Amino acid sequence: MSEFILPRRQLIARAGGLAAALPLLSACDAINDAPAVRKILSMGEEMNRASQRALTDRNALAREFSRADRSPYFRPNGTRLPAGAAYAAHAASGFADWRVAVTGLVARPLSLSMADIRAMPQRTQITRHDCVEGWSAIGQWTGVQLSRILAAAGVKDSARYIVFRCADRLGDALYYESCDMVDARHPQTIMAWALNDAVLPIANGAPLRLRIERQLGYKHAKYVNAIEAVTSLDAIGAGKGGYWEDRIDYEWYAGI
Amino acid sequence: MAEAETPVAPSAPTSLAPVRVYRHRLPTRVWHWVNAVTLLILLMSGLTIFNAHPRLYWGEYGANFDRAWLVIGSTPDSGYLRVGDWRVDTTGVLGRWTNAEGVEKTWAFPGWATIPTSYSLADGRRWHLFFAWVMAIGLTLYMLWTAVAEHLRKDLHVRRGEWSPRHIWHDVKDHARLRFPTGEAAARYGILQKLSYIGVIFILLPLMIATGLTMSPGLNASAPWLLDLFGGRQSARSIHFIAAWALIAFFVVHIVMVLLAGLLNEVRSMVTGWFRLPPEKDA
């Protein structure tokens, strides 16, 4: 959930006096943009994912902190207020009619209200949120474990990924994210509706957001209104598994 | 730095033939040049990542509303660096500068110092996280080799006598006066060289890897002791940044020393392995 994403590449203007460094700099950027180079560099992501999955405990818990350790102010990022009349109406009614659809490879598709979600067993955790930009904030989250929702819907064995669809539109598309089943079933992966003892503020993703504690901030989908179990991410968005992954090539595996 | 040997050159007058020593073995040469490129890429892509949030904190958390110990920022007409309460105007270089096309930018580090030259956190991370593997694998192999091939024991090992303050001070003075060893002595590393190379190979580079890994939320879960070791994720990020500048300092001194000691001879020895001993002063 980067705050200031800039256009990925702008053609270097040839007009005006050419600085001596310009040819060198554009040569560097040509290397950066070469498909073969990008393919090689992407191996780093795969090595990080594979090594973390292979060498570390898949169920290891992210550190949980005490109330005194919390950030004085939890910085919101990305969308702070989804546009549109539909969301505004939901916010005005306290999200009384908000529905979270649980679909895809499940035995029993669900349509959960916020009351349904709050009626399920809850988990509260004080964890550190790490933005891809480099900052961190510690906050206390309360919500239902995603594994409970998936169990209630009877997720099928053929499901390999869980996709989270969001109500916030950024530019041309709605935000979305996805994760594998290891993180989906992780005990600390929760659909949170409260932050620091209060109902989740709109800036932080009201009424419901994902907490996926072992990955970076842009994976933590906010304003979630659908959870979908799938076998492949190819047909979703541009196929890379997330809004920023599709657009600016952020890593799908954001464990580092 | 293996045994010295005079090249077989029977036709040349022995007094004029340069004494050559096989100074750098192949693994050292390969690793040196791979590392030169790798560290440059890691530094420049690291500056891109820093640009995404040009503030450093101590402890576990830190974001815009928290007190940063280091900030590179901008005002409407200037750029500045603040460290603690000390603030310096850096307009033109840090915080506010003009790019090659004449456009004013307010990213912390200028485009000529970053990979890519335009701000792209995603691309900076791609470069950084790939070459981090190149660095980590290369360093691991090289460390193992220094032990197995006895490079460590024979060449880098600090002898008992070399630890004496007098000996170290003597070497410092020689460096300050630009008086470099000649003849046989030039074939061996001095105490400052040994400490520099040991410091980089066994302290700074491992520290970069460890603090880098401490910023990984995935690894934090399975190895939380790293957080305790460095005092939290934001402390690890600060130490990562400081250690990077320590590596830059090493690089600058390294280059200056190579230039002063003889660029051609030094670079050639790191390519072919063979180093020509500077003739004795009194010869």
Task: Convert the pLDDT of each residue in B197-250 to its tens digit.
Answer: 999 999 999 999 999 999 999 999 999 999 999 999 999 999 999 999 999 999
CB contacts of A75 in chain B (<8 Å) are: 63-65
- pLDDT tens-place string over residues B91-115: 999 999 998 889 999 999 999 999 9
List % helix, strand, coil for chain A (3-state, nearest 5): 30, 25, 45
**Cβ pair A25:B55 closer than 8 A:** no
Q: At what angle do helices B191-198 and B233-272 cross, to 10 degrees?
A: 130
Which among A134, A142, A125, A151 has a CA at the least distance from the CA of A61? Answer: A125
Burial class of residue B80 in the structure, from the number of CB atoms within 10 Å of its CB (0-12 exposed, 13-18 middle, 19+ buried):
middle
Mean pLDDT of the region A100-120: 98
- pLDDT tens-place string over residues A151-161: 999 999 999 99
pLDDT grade for B10, boundaries at 50, 70 and 90 = very low
A28 and B117 in contact (C-beta within 8 Å)?
Answer: yes
pLDDT grade for A119, boundaries at 50, 70 and 90 = very high
Alpha-carbon gap: B147 to the closest alpha carbon of chain A (Å): 26
- pLDDT tens-place string over residues A56-89: 999 999 999 999 999 999 999 999 999 999 999 9
Mean pLDDT of the region B144-149: 93
- Chains A, B: CB pairs < 8 Å: 160
- pLDDT mean across residues, chain A: 91
Whether B121 has a pLDDT exceeding 50, the answer reads yes
Copy the structure tokens of residue B179.
Answer: 């008086």
CA dist B35 and B135 (Å) reads 7
What pLDDT does residue A87 have? 97
Q: Which chain B residue is nearest to residue A217, measuring alpha carbons?
A: B217
Whether A46 has a pLDDT exceeding 60, the answer reads yes
pLDDT grade for B187, boundaries at 50, 70 and 90 = confident
What pLDDT does residue A27 have? 82
Percentage with pLDDT > 90 across chain B: 78
The dihedral of CA A102, A106, A110, A114: what is its sign?
A: negative
Q: Which chain B residue is nearest to residue A20, measuring alpha carbons?
A: B100
What pLDDT does residue B16 have? 63
What pLDDT does residue A21 have? 62
pLDDT grade for A1, boundaries at 50, 70 and 90 = very low
Mean pLDDT of the region B257-269: 93
What pLDDT does residue B3 have? 46
Alpha-carbon gap: A197 to the closest alpha carbon of chain B (Å): 19
CA dist B69 and B235 (Å) reads 11
Query: Chain A contact for B130, CB < 8 A?
Result: yes
Mean pLDDT of the region B146-159: 89
CB contacts of A127 in chain B (<8 Å) are: none
Q: What is the ipTM of this complex?
A: 0.90
pLDDT grade for A15, boundaries at 50, 70 and 90 = very low
Mean pLDDT of the region A107-122: 98
Percentage with pLDDT > 70 across chain B: 93
- pLDDT mean across residues, chain B: 91
CA dist A149 and B92 (Å) reads 54
Whether A9 has a pLDDT exceeding 50, the answer reads no
The dihedral of CA A172, A173, A179, A181: what is its sign?
A: negative
**Cβ pair A22:B63 closer than 8 A:** no
Whether A245 has a pLDDT exceeding 80, the answer reads yes
CB contacts of B110 in chain A (<8 Å) are: none
What pLDDT does residue B12 have? 44
Whether B6 has a pLDDT exceeding 60, the answer reads no
What pLDDT does residue B185 have? 84
